[in-house]
Amino acid sequence: MSIALTAVILFCMFFILLALSVPVSVSIVLASVVTGLSTLGWDQLSFIIMQKMNSGVESFSLLAVPLFILAGNIMNNGGIARRMINFAKLFCGFIPGSLAQTNVLGNMLFGSLAGSAVAAASAMGGSIAPIQKEEKYDMAFATAVNIASAPTGLLIPPTSAFIVYSTVVGGVSISALFMAGYVPGILMGLGVMLVAYLYARSKKYPTTGIVPAKVALKVTLDALPSFALIVIVIGGIVSGVFTATEGAGVCVVYCLALSFIYRSVTIKSLTKILVDSACVSGIILFLISASSAMSWVMAFSGIPSAIADALMSFSDNKYVIFLLINIILLVIGMFLDITPAILIFTPIFLPICTSLGMDPVHFGVMLIFNMCLGSMTPPVGSVLFVGCGITKMSIERVSAMLVPYFMVLIAILLLITFVPDVSLFIPKMMGLM
């Protein structure tokens, strides 16, 4: 069977199953098995698929993923999100639409600690939306701000997205990836703040005023223990004191201790947090396991090299190729969650980009930025659905409000793609690459 026909069978079946509401992980496995049967017998294929699925999650580095999920859930339920919001208010009171600006800054701060766009959208939106409603904010605008800024937590470390990417690629420093995510993540947040400011000023939204120095000092001191977590975890990983997995364990212990000190987590609520974290971790790890099987089927069938040849035959200009890859990734992000997208498409596009001189760290940032945009777009954007669910706004109305944010973020994506030092300046300066 030709490579082109194999690729058509694999991807068509995968997206047909998704359209039929079959779970993503199951769709991946079924599509992989059916495609594999076109070239191998069942006995041989079943053995290899099971072996690849097992080896896909047999990694010490991947242990960091469920640990960071647990830490994020503890923070979301342990009073840390509320302290982040109070701290963010200190810097936004004088800006029109200050609650929207607080939402963005809160997502950047909390999302960087939780490492989850969905957790950030849920925590920040759930806390700020009722206040915005009382102050007569357009709730479609408020929802759009929350959705557009929540994915910053996927770029600003610590984030499990970079850990998954590092595991797929192999040999890429997690510390370098973490440091490379700072500037793009901050630019993403600033882009959303700019659009929100222009809209709020045109609608003459009020400011909340400058917080008195005494109150500001109390709020800052209250938030300092939470920010110490960033210094401990990121500092420890970058300096080599502990690995990313060990850092995730430290993060869990620290968040748990802080939540008990704040008396915001009980033994009963901790049980629910553990169960919820286990469920989410199981879903993600099964996705990783299933995607490992699909990656093997693609490699065995020669699909990545065929796609590379097709793209390279389209143009020999690397900037055109990078632009095409971005367009493809943006479309993929509309249909796939970030974890399976990283696992399935990194083996396809990374060799193309590195052959054109792009550093794997740079590609990782570009890939994840694309997936951030995908998480806020229909039809399968997880952050979009969570954000709309919190405020009970229709997806159609919020999607229209998201257009200007999307345009600004596309411009930032192109900047990141074509100016490598936007991502690589910090890791180079720190001697990480």
> How confident is the model over 264-289, as pLDDT tens digits?
777 888 888 888 888 878 887 887 78
The answer to whether the CB of 256 falls within 8 A of the CB of 269 is: no
Distances (CA, A) of 306 to 113, 138, 300, 303: 40, 49, 12, 5
If you average pLDDT over residues 6-27, what whole number do you get?
A: 80
- Amino acid occupying residue 218: K
372 or 38, which is more confident? 372
For residue 319, give both structure tokens: 């900037």
Cα gap 433→429, rounded to integer Å: 9
Distances (CA, A) of 5 to 35, 39, 306, 362: 10, 12, 11, 32
165 or 92, which is more confident? 165
CA angle 106, 109, 110 (to 5 degrees): 80
- DSSP character at residue 3: H
If you average pLDDT over residues 408-423, what whole number do you get?
A: 94
**Res. 366: pLDDT tops 90:** yes
pLDDT score of 78: 61
Other C-beta atoms closer than 10 Å to the C-beta of 227 total 15
pLDDT score of 365: 94
115-169 pLDDT, tens digit per residue, is 667 777 777 777 777 777 877 888 888 889 888 988 888 888 877 788 888 888 8
pLDDT score of 223: 78
pLDDT score of 413: 95
**Gyration radius of the chain over CA positions:** 22
Q: What is the pTM of this model?
A: 0.81
180-238 pLDDT, tens digit per residue, is 999 999 999 999 999 998 988 888 777 766 667 777 788 788 878 877 877 888 788 77
pLDDT score of 397: 86
**Res. 352: pLDDT tops 70:** yes
